[in-house]
Structure 1
């Protein structure tokens, strides 16, 4: 399953997209849900991993390459520190036992993921 997640700066889960099949590339899924365009329209910056390369100016990605030095290495290190907060939100979603071995339609997965977000926002 492929579910796109948005988190606040503190790493709290705010929103999950509709679930798509797992074979869908992450950047394709983000574009399907209109995430890069919505971020750019509202002037919101987002930190993402390397697979979102080319998503637009609103989506910040690390610099690609091996054996980076100097400012590029520092940039990637700082980027990883910021992204770790978003990874916490993803871990919050994944740690729920109900999602571990879920084998059903993407519609049901979407319902379960949104229920988890609701539980997280109310607690």
Structure 2
């Protein structure tokens, strides 16, 4: 439709919202959960004792969400905002706005940006 390649990159952020890890780029048509499964992110998180959480969704034929469900969604949004900060950091690199290549080449570019970002923040360990 857009006649351009899109990519899907999964990120991990620390509790402050700084980039920690970036997955290899996958085609943009790949769903986020499928991408997380493909790169082994879900298995790594669950084996370390973590959980994958999704917000409650209101269905068309049911009444609105309960108060507890809205509270859970609000807490989920606060956690998600930290990850979105990491995504914004990655997107601030202008080279990604003009990126029109296959996912394989995009992987090298995203990994290089991650290293440069860690150097810029003084967190690169070699």
Superposition TM-score, scaled by structure 2 size: 0.82
Deviations 1:53-89 (A, max 9, x none): xxxxx11111121632311111101110111010000
CA distance in 2: counterparts of 1:93 and 1:30, whole angstroms: 18
CA distance in 2, matches of 1:60, 1:105: 31
1:39-60 superposed Cα distances (whole Å, 9 cap, x missing partner) = 011113xxxxxxxxxxxxx111
Shift of 1:104: 1.0
- Matched residues in 2 for 1:64 and 1:37: separation? 24
Q: Report deviation, 1:16.
A: 0.7
- Counterpart in the other structure of 1:32: 38
Alignment partner, residue 72 of structure 1: 69
| Matches for 1:31-50 after TM superposition, within 5 Å | 31-44=37-50
Q: Mind listing any 5+ residue stretches in structure 1 that lack a counterpart? A: 45-57
Deviation at 1:18, TM superposition (A): 0.5
**Partner of 1:95 in structure 2?**
92
Task: Say which one has the larger Rg.
Answer: 2
Give the whole-Å Cα distance in 1 for the aligned partners of 2:8 and 2:36: 10
CA RMSD of aligned residues (A): 1.2
Count matched residues: 110
Of structures 1 and 2, the one with the larger relative CO (CA 8 A, separation 6+) is 2
- Consecutive unaligned residues of structure 2, counting only runs of 5 or more, are 1-6, 122-126
**CA positional deviation for 1:90:** 0.5
